[in-house]
Chains A and B, each alone.
Chain A
Amino acid sequence: MPWFEDLVIGSRQELGSHLFTEAEIIRFATKFDPQYFHIDPAAAATSPYGGLIASGWHTASTWMKLMVATLRARADQADEQGRRPAAGPSPGFLDLKWPNPVRPGDTIAYSTTLTEKVALRSRPQWGLIRSRNEGVNQRGELVLSFTGQALIQRRPMD
């Protein structure tokens, strides 16, 4: 996990990829988004999508899964007093798009690119970052994009 000060605008990070299986698509959607084209392969075949597709929330939540794993794997330096930055909460996200469906057997490669850093007058120990996040399938088609926001701890001044 980096300090706010160490994040560079424009830097892009690959987050790894995830294979969406039919069983996993059905399991997520049965819990959270049981529309027939997400849970019933036979009925989905008659839908405008022509087959089973993943819930968009499943596609987006999997971005988070790989984002957290990537942040954890970073070997960011502690400061002189041994402190390491903590991840903070997010106020929400903007412009989320699902331009192409995710189908069983698709492997989605996710990425994040830092686009903006905002110092917060109200919370001097934290900064807000914005990022452009994407998921792309094995054919190079965009399946997910959104502007993410998160609070990131600032390096202590003392």
Chain B
Amino acid sequence: MRQPRLYWEDFQPGGVIEATRAPVTKEEILEFAAEFDPQPFHLDEAAAEASLLGGLCASGWHTCSMVMRMMCDAYVLDAASLGAPGVEETRWTKPVYVGDTLTARATCLASRASASRPTMGLTQFLWEAFNQKGELVASLRSWSMLERRRTGEAA
């Protein structure tokens, strides 16, 4: 548990954070799919090529999980995060194929204090992930719960 550097006040509407990760490997696609989403287009190259998806690609839940990890590394682990109550909308707009290099962008859309918990604030983010061609592969819109900076706490 590291000391948070970022609090609710540090995320203002319009703010943007960029995230990256290593290219997606066949092994990680197969490993996730075998445990959580063993459909042919996530496990079998020939079946995947014959499907609407056109090739072996990551489970959408795997894509969400990869984006979560990218955001953890980009800022969530540095923030006084209290988790999230849910995700309003998630779109899987393009498949994520073996070898794709993903980048992601978190855009702060809105911010509000918590009515019930004075030490907490809520921040609405749009998370977007892109492949190496610049195509949007996934987008997620959700509210995050963050601790507020206590009076006297160093900025």
Contact = CB atoms under 8 A, between A and B. Distances in A.
A53 B32 CA distance: 20
B61 A34 contact: no
A10 B62 CA distance: 29
Given A32-B66, A65-B36, A92 B86 contact: no
A12 interface: no
B82 A61 contact: no
Interface residues of B, number: 38
B36 A61 contact: yes
Contacts of A93: 87, 89-90
A65 B69 contact: no
Q: For the complex, would chain B's binding face be called helix, strand, loop or mixed by DSSP majority?
A: mixed
A91 B91 contact: yes
A87 B37 CA distance: 12
Given A95-B86, A96-B87, A98-B86, A31 B37 contact: no
B27 interface: no
Contact of B51 (A31, A48, A86, A90): A86
A56 B65 contact: no
Contact of B38 (A43, A53, A68, A99): A68
A123 to B, nearest CB: 8
B92 A90 contact: yes
Nearest to B139: A92
Given A55-B65, A57-B61, A61-B61, 14 more contacts: A33-B65, A35-B72, A49-B83, A57-B68, A65-B35, A68-B38, A87-B39, A91-B93, A92-B91, A93-B87, A93-B90, A95-B89, A98-B83, A126-B52
Interface of B: 1, 32, 35-39, 41, 51-53, 59-62, 64-66, 68-69, 72, 76-77, 81-93, 95, 138
